[in-house]
Amino acid sequence: MARIIYTGIVESIRGSIGGSTFQANAYGYTIKRKPNVIRPNSFLQNNRKLVFSQVTRAWRGLTQAKRDEYDSWASTYPQYSKYNPESQLSGYAVFVKYNVLRVLSGKTVLTAALGTPPDSDTLTYEVENNAGALSINITSTTGDEEWLILFFLSRKFTASQLFIGTSPKYIKDSTNATQSVTITTEYTNIYGYVPSVGENVALDALLIADNCPKVLARDSSIYTVVAP
C-alpha cells in the first residue's frame, strides 16, 4: 500500500484501475493492490474479527473520564498512522490499535491508569530447532520486562524468497527478557510442521508497552533456523 499526495490539478481519485484500488480514509489517500480473497472466513481471520469487535465494544463501555484519559495520553505521547506519518492517531485509534494486540496476546483491555512509555530496549532474536522443539531465543539489553513482544512467524521460505509481505501469522508472546520461548505447539497448529535447521522463516516482533498504549514499529526480518 502506498500513500498518495494530490496536486492542485488532481484532487482525488476513487475506484479501481488495473487491479489497484484508490481509497480515502481518516489518515489520507492510499492506493493498494486488490487482494485475492481465497478463504475470507478462516479461523485466524474470524478470531481477529472477534478480537476487534471485543475491543470496539470495550471502548463504548468506557466511562467518559477514561476516554478523556486516552485522548490526553494520545496527545501527550503522539503515535502516527502507518500509512500517513503526518496523521496523529486519536485516543480512540490508539485504544483500538493497542488493545487489539493486547487481547490477541491473551490479556484484557487496558483500563487501569495509563503510565508513561517505558525506556526502549535493544533486542535480538534467533529461531532454533532442538531435535524438533522449535523456540525463539531472545537477547535483551535491559531485561526489564516492561514490554510485551508479540511474535509473528511465516511458513518456511524458499532460499530465494526475500519479500515478507503479510505472510507471518501470530504465534506467541513474551516479555522483553533474555530467555528462550518454546513455540512448537503454536507453530505446528498453524503450519502443520516444524522448519528444519538451515531453512528460512520470516519473523516479525511487535512490541507493546505493558502499562500504557504504546505500540512500536514491527521488527521484520528473515531468519535461518539454527541448531542449539
List of E strands, the chain? 2-4, 15-17, 20-25, 28-33, 123-130, 133-140, 147-153, 169-175, 179-182, 200-209, 219-224
Interacting residues of 37 by C-beta distance below 8 A, sequence separation 6+: none
Q: Among candidates 181, 206, 209, which has minimal Cα distance to 120?
A: 209
One-letter amino acid of 66: K
- pLDDT at 194 (0 to 100): 97
pLDDT band for 161, please (50, 70, 90 cuts): confident
Asked if residue 162 has pLDDT above 90, the reply is no
**15-17 and 2-4: which strand pairing?**
unpaired
Q: What is the pLDDT of residues 44-54, one digit of tens each?
A: 778 889 999 99
User: Looking at the predicted structure, is the pLDDT value of residue 137 above 60?
Assistant: yes
Using the 8-state DSSP alphabet, how is residue 128 labeled? Answer: E
Question: What is the mean predicted confidence (pLDDT) over 150-166?
Answer: 85
Q: Dmax of the chain from CA atoms?
A: 63
Would you identify the CATH topology of the domain 123-224? Immunoglobulin-like (2.60.40)
From CA 112, how far away is CA 65, in angstroms rounded? 12
pLDDT confidence of residue 21: 65
Q: Where in the chain is the domain with CATH 2.60.40.10?
A: 123-224
pLDDT of residue 192: 96
Model's pTM, two decimal places?
0.81
CA nearest neighbour of 201 among 218, 217, 225: 225
Predicted local confidence at residue 44, as pLDDT: 73
Query: Among the residues of the chain, which ranges form H helices?
Result: 43-60, 64-76, 91-104, 184-191
Q: Residue 7's pLDDT band (boundaries 50, 70, 90)?
A: low
